[in-house]
Structure 1
Amino acid sequence: MSQNVNRGDACALPTQKNDAGFTKKFSTGELPVEPNRYHYVWAKFCPWATPAAMMIDYTGLNKVISKFATDPLRHPGIDDDWFFGKNANDEDPVLHTTRLSQNYKKAVPNFSARPTVPALIDLTTGGVVNDSSRDIMFELGGSWKAYFDQNVPDVYPDDLKPEFDAMNTRIITDITSIPGKISDVDSQAEYDMLFNQYFDRLAQLDRRLADKRFLMGDHITLPDFWLVVSLIRFDVVFYFKSKLNKKRLVDFPNLWRYAKECYQIPAFKQNTDFTAIKQHFFQVSDDPVTSFDRVIPGGPDLSKWED
């Protein structure tokens, strides 16, 4: 992405993922459920990659699945790769590669598409085995329960999967996907449709949380990871950058109470980096800032998340 692109180019939508076969799953037997064999590459700014990072820590899977975040900024002159540090020679400490494309090529040597996050990597080969945010969430939540901490309630109950999947789809379709889609509109009518879709869903979820502590009941489940990640980015980025400015998160009393409560949970807070979020969506790359659209705004006041 060139530095004059105003979108932020966070991570690819599920429908925009690379069509190169990075779709192996645990549930089908293509991948063995084996501790200490897999590594999760994510990005701290990304609303698609962060939910699984939170879930890995929340469930205790971080004891058997390692993870590492890419640098949030594109490097000068290279707009089609993610680096593992601010310097081109910085390595992922587990993979010992410097950029994500190297791990895609370990799986598909002639890989030439744009590498995207998240990416689940098999450490026996160093190659990417799955790069679908939705697949990775469902697969880890459903197939790795034997490695969850014993005191963690089931985040993806087998007998409630249809209900949970329906909620996940509503969040992903009407909230998570909207900022990326709205950046590509070329008509007022299309913008209005997506704008209303976003705020209608927020209003529905605000009403739902009037008498619920979390989305699906009294404990954290898989849909909560999806929703909270997008809510955290709403006032900080999307309200301004995506023109999603009908209301702020704080104007939805139940969503705001819920988001702040989730944020206080260590797995949510330690995987939230407001600086990285603002850097990526506004500054985009570490090229010198020479235009107003790449200036990182001073607000909003983030101390309210700690109240």
Structure 2
Amino acid sequence: MSSGSGTSGEIKADGSFNRQVNKFTVPFGTLPGELPVEAGRYRLLWSAVCPWAHRSVIVRRILGLEDSISLGTASPMRPNLPRVDWEFSLDEDGVDPILGIRYMSEIYKQTDPEYSGRPTVPVIVDVKENKVVNNDYFKLTNYFETVWAPFHKENAPDLYPENLRDEIDHLNDVIFHDVNNGVYKCGFARSQESYEEAYDALFARLDELEQRLSEKRFLAGDFITDSDVRLYATLIRFDAAYYAAFKTNRNRIVDFPNLWGYLRDLYQTPGFGDTTDFHAIKVHYHLSNHIASDDHKSKNILPKGPDLSGLHTAHNREGLNGMKHKFLIK
């Protein structure tokens, strides 16, 4: 994910936002030409602000892949460069300790000197080859859930059960277009018409999900699946960032009784809340030069709200499935 002025090439003639296509999409697997599944060989690069990257980190944590795939963390603030980039300024000496790079674009250029797209996260780097091998955020969690199974922790949950995959894939596609990417279609729109079209689609889908979650504890039923991870990554940023920064201001998530209870349920689940960094999220969406207002009087002020303490309150959603556990164990 990247944002703001660096997305100018992704604005269509009608003013709507059309996200760039990922270039590095070779799958993980065991077939010839696929990326070998090998513990210690890969490094996952992310920023805590990015919902696409956050969901890969959630799944990595839940499945116990932290010892098999290392993690590099970029700053929530964009460097002051003429291009959109991510910077490893959180690390000692301002470089990733494994890859030795200062900016995300360096590893993309090392991999392909002709690469001209935005250097996006999440991205998987082969540390043996010192090159990008996969930045396919749409399928990455599914690889972690399936072909990376030999390295899952004992009693790891099944987030992508085979008998539900068609339903999960359909949900993921709908959630991506109308919600995950929908907030960006609102925030990056360059015409009133395209903004309102995306806004209406976003809230129509949230209304539908609100109704769905009145009868189901989680999107596919009794257990957390990959779809819940994907929806969570947007919902948890909504009130703190998108509502104001992206003008998605019909309702906050706290105003939806079922979505709000569902969000609290997930937030209180290990792997979700403990990988969520609200300070990073707010700093990025409200202070980064590529998103924040050009008004010099306000762009350096970090909003004090919203009050997020309610995320820790009882969600009382156990009764929707009669069980206290949240995961399907293989």
Q: Does TM, scored on the shorter chain, surpass 0.5?
A: yes
2-side partners of 1:124 and 1:285: how far apart?
A: 35
Q: Which residue of 2 aligns with 1:24?
A: 26
**Per-residue deviation, residues 254-283 of structure 1 (Å, max 9, x unmatched):** 111111111112211221110110111111
Matched, 1:281 2:279: no
Q: In structure 2, do the counterparts of structure 1 residues 107 and 31 end up closer, same or farther at CA, with 3 Å as the change threshold?
A: same
2-side partners of 1:6 and 1:114: how far apart?
A: 11
Corresponding residue SS for 1:121: strand
Matched, 1:183 2:187: yes
- Structure 1 range deviating more: 264-273 or 163-172: 264-273
Corresponding residue SS for 1:276: helix
Runs of 4+ with >6 A deviation: 5-9, 286-289
Instruction: Report the number of matched residues.
Output: 299
Corresponding residue SS for 1:266: coil
Q: Which residue of 1 aligns with 2:248?
A: 244
Using the size of structure 1 for normalisation, the TM-score is 0.89
**Per-residue deviation, residues 179-236 of structure 1 (Å, max 9, x unmatched):** 2111333433322221111111111111111122221122221011110110011111
1-side partners of 2:91 and 2:168: how far apart?
A: 41
TM-superposed deviation, 1:146: 2.2
1:52-201 equivalent positions in 2, closer than 5 A: 52-86=56-90, 89-201=93-205
2-side partners of 1:23 and 1:172: how far apart?
A: 18
Select the residue among 310, 325, 328 that pairs with 1:304.
310
TM-superposed deviation, 1:96: 2.5
RMSD: 2.6
2-side partners of 1:225 and 1:124: how far apart?
A: 30
Long gaps (5+) in structure 1: none
1-side partners of 2:192 and 2:104: how far apart?
A: 37
Q: In structure 2, do the counterparts of structure 1 residues 139 and 6 end up closer, same or farther at CA, with 3 Å as the change threshold?
A: closer
Corresponding residue SS for 1:61: coil
Amino acid of the structure 2 residue aligned with 1:240? A
1-side partners of 2:138 and 2:101: how far apart?
A: 25
Higher relative contact order (CA 8 A, sep 6+): 1
Q: Percent identity?
A: 37
Select the residue among 201, 226, 230 that pairs with 2:230.
226
Q: In structure 2, do the counterparts of structure 1 residues 217 and 200 end up closer, same or farther at CA, with 3 Å as the change threshold?
A: same
Work out whether residues 106 and 127 of structure 1, in 8 Å CA contact, stay in contact via their aligned partners in 2: yes
TM-superposed deviation, 1:64: 0.8
Work out whether residues 234 and 249 of structure 1, in 8 Å CA contact, stay in contact via their aligned partners in 2: yes
2-side partners of 1:6 and 1:234: how far apart?
A: 17
2-side partners of 1:55 and 1:133: how far apart?
A: 12
Work out whether residues 40 and 68 of structure 2, in 8 Å CA contact, stay in contact via their aligned partners in 1: yes
Work out whether residues 7 and 281 of structure 1, in 8 Å CA contact, stay in contact via their aligned partners in 2: no
